[in-house]
Structure 1
Amino acid sequence: MNQAGDHALNDNGRAPSCEVEGALAAPVSTDGIRGKLTQNAPLAKLVWFKAGGAADWLFEPADKADLIEFLDRLGGNLPVMALGLGSNLIVRDGGVPGVVVRLGKPFSRVEDHGDHVLVCGGGASGILVSSTARDAGIAGLEFLRGIPGTVGGFVRMNGGAYGREVADALIDCDVIMPDGQCHTLPAADLAYTYRHSSLPEGAVVISARLQGSAGDPAEIGAEMDRIAEARENSQPLRSKTGGSTFKNPEGKKAWQLVDDAGCRGLTMGGAQVSEKHTNFMINTGDATSADIEGLGEEVRRRVYAQSRVELEWEIQRVGRP
């Protein structure tokens, strides 16, 4: 499990060195590092809202060993943030300090390991995981078809939809800490609650083992199709959005509270509360992250004034204002 990938060789028979883009010296020696390191890397194009600032440094590792070596050299001296599909994220306009780690293809594999267990790379999408489970006759992971994002984000945020969440399926996960130390953490150590885990800040989830049960591929596929259709009919999937904005309060629905507070269609700058689903905000074209976050705070204010319920953000907000 989680073996480092084969090292590509250049014409001299050596592993290619790190590609560094930027005017300043890299935060660590990149000799022997094979991934791509970019200074002042724009993040707007990498997140669903299509807004926000740049990362001080963006590192795209070649494989597990490359990421471990890079973070070991970093030694915890800079903040580290993992970035998946950017589907549940507001990157503030001032950008993200430290290093943003983006897991690419080497971390997106999903493999059937028998006994209805899938080993999933931290960069694997929910659609890939659920589709692989379907093809292998593994039931219980259909809900991942309805969550935009990657396994790393699901594990960190206890992602869930349609009656199930990651806590119901996770056996354990492999994480690399900001100082390069690699650990396998059982699900019980993550202290899961609703859309929350105790995973340390800066830890990068590189893989996870998920437990399903025996199922019929046709029935699994039908459930996935039902979930996909439900999302299409109820959510603004064709818009620049960030997924569910607020957590559902105990015994209540966030969208209903937002609607009752008169916030359907509410705008701030280029940001708008979706007319289709009021627990979604959208970028109508030229919203800044300040517009989007400010609109969310205004919604929270109006909901509290209407119902005395204080909505909690589900979307992660990161970086400098």
Structure 2
Amino acid sequence: MNDTGSAPASEVDGAVSTPVPIENVRGKLTADAPLAKLVWFKAGGNADWLFEPADRGDLVDFLERLGGQLPVMALGLGSNMIIRDGGVPGVVVKLGKPFAQVETDENCVVTCGGSAHGILVSSTARDAGIAGLEFLRGIPGTVGGFVRMNGGAYGREVSDVLIDCEVILPDGECIVLPAADLEYTYRHSALPDGAVVVQARFQGTPGDPEEIGAEMDRIAEARENSQPLRTKTGGSTFKNPEGRKAWQLVDDAGCRGLKMGGAQVSEKHTNFLINTGDATSADIEGLGEEVKRRVYENSGVQLEWEIQRVGRP
């Protein structure tokens, strides 16, 4: 630490980066932090800075002092993300246990911290006799990611159940956004860049815990039978085009099992890419682009990435 209470400026891609305030940080702040271990693909570069706040106040204070001078990116489970090999500029924020609480009330409202896992949210709702959130059992991710990407599975998506969310902007400002302000479309929202979702409220309906549990079990079994869950993967790679299934288009283009470096199109589910062991993020993204090219050549359909691709090439 220097006399200003900030980490010294560092050289990044030939430019001097903004000093990062480290004084009075109660959480964990790491420079040049490896991210590969934090994402499902187990590939990619480092974050300039990784911040794991102790609590909401710690996050607000840190971002206020940062003053919006660096890009901020929230990272959940890393299940639907490619971290490029050049790493991520600015600050990556990863919320931990202090943001994982889930509570219910008598109006079937489920209030969740931004780092709560989908299975915890759906299980808590089940135990309280709240139906409508079973689909979250089938999405590998956290509440923050669900809110940003309008996560969905098995016929439902977050826009169907979200009441509002509390976010902290890159300059530390805290705002509450009603679901209508997020302008949800398929796997997309208007959540501001760099906003960190620290809480969300979902609206359920009264239900029978046994029936809710049975539906959750059905979803879990369907995932196990159809998806390569025990591999280094990133979830669904491409969005489903209107009226079509991405996996079918990929299969019809002859891409099942296609390889590039250490990356491969899954034999089990062709809308999943997998890291066979030593893939770089460039291998994975390059394979995805080759699949897109072949699908367009075969069917005239231009697939769109569902997986987020972030960072420097």
Q: What TM-score do you get using the length of structure 2 for normalisation? A: 0.94
2:186 paired with 1:194: yes
Amino acid at match of 2:296: Y
Match of 2:83 among 87, 91, 95: 91
User: Equivalent residues in 2 for 1:36-115 (5 A)?
Assistant: 36-115=28-107
2:223 paired with 1:231: yes
Aligned residues: 302
2:276 paired with 1:284: yes
Deviations 1:249-294 (A, max 9, x none): 0000000000000000000000000000000000000000000000
How far does residue 237 in structure 1 lie from its aligned partner after superposition?
Answer: 0.1
How far does residue 33 in structure 1 lie from its aligned partner after superposition?
Answer: 1.8
Match of 1:219 among 211, 219, 223: 211
- Is the CA contact (8 Å cut-off) linking 2:39 and 2:78 kept in structure 1? yes
Amino acid at match of 2:234: G
CA distance, structure 2, for counterparts of residue 57 and residue 90 of structure 1: 18
- Is the CA contact (8 Å cut-off) linking 2:31 and 2:50 kept in structure 1? yes
CA distance, structure 1, for counterparts of residue 286 and residue 149 of structure 2: 23
How far does residue 232 in structure 1 lie from its aligned partner after superposition?
Answer: 0.1
CA distance, structure 2, for counterparts of residue 74 and residue 113 of structure 1: 36
DSSP 3-state at the match of 1:306: helix
DSSP 3-state at the match of 2:21: coil
DSSP 3-state at the match of 1:237: coil
Corresponding position of 1:14 = none
How far does residue 114 in structure 1 lie from its aligned partner after superposition?
Answer: 2.5
Structure-2 change in CA distance of 1:35 and 1:27 (3 Å): farther
2:292 paired with 1:300: yes
DSSP 3-state at the match of 1:303: helix
Amino acid at match of 1:178: P
Amino acid at match of 2:120: L
In terms of mean alpha carbon deviation, does 105-114 or 169-178 score higher?
Answer: 105-114
DSSP 3-state at the match of 2:20: coil
The alignment-based identity, stated in percent, is: 80
Corresponding position of 1:151 = 143
DSSP 3-state at the match of 2:50: strand
DSSP 3-state at the match of 1:184: strand
CA distance, structure 2, for counterparts of residue 150 and residue 176 of structure 1: 16
Amino acid at match of 1:51: A
- RMSD in angstroms over aligned alpha carbons? 1.5
Match of 2:308 among 308, 313, 316: 316
CA distance, structure 1, for counterparts of residue 7 and residue 252 of structure 2: 49
CA distance, structure 2, for counterparts of residue 319 and residue 208 of structure 1: 27
Q: What TM-score do you get using the length of structure 1 for normalisation? A: 0.92
DSSP 3-state at the match of 1:275: coil
5+ residue gaps, structure 2: 1-5, 11-16
- Is the CA contact (8 Å cut-off) linking 1:21 and 1:37 kept in structure 2? no
- Is the CA contact (8 Å cut-off) linking 1:21 and 1:39 kept in structure 2? no
How far does residue 21 in structure 1 lie from its aligned partner after superposition?
Answer: 10
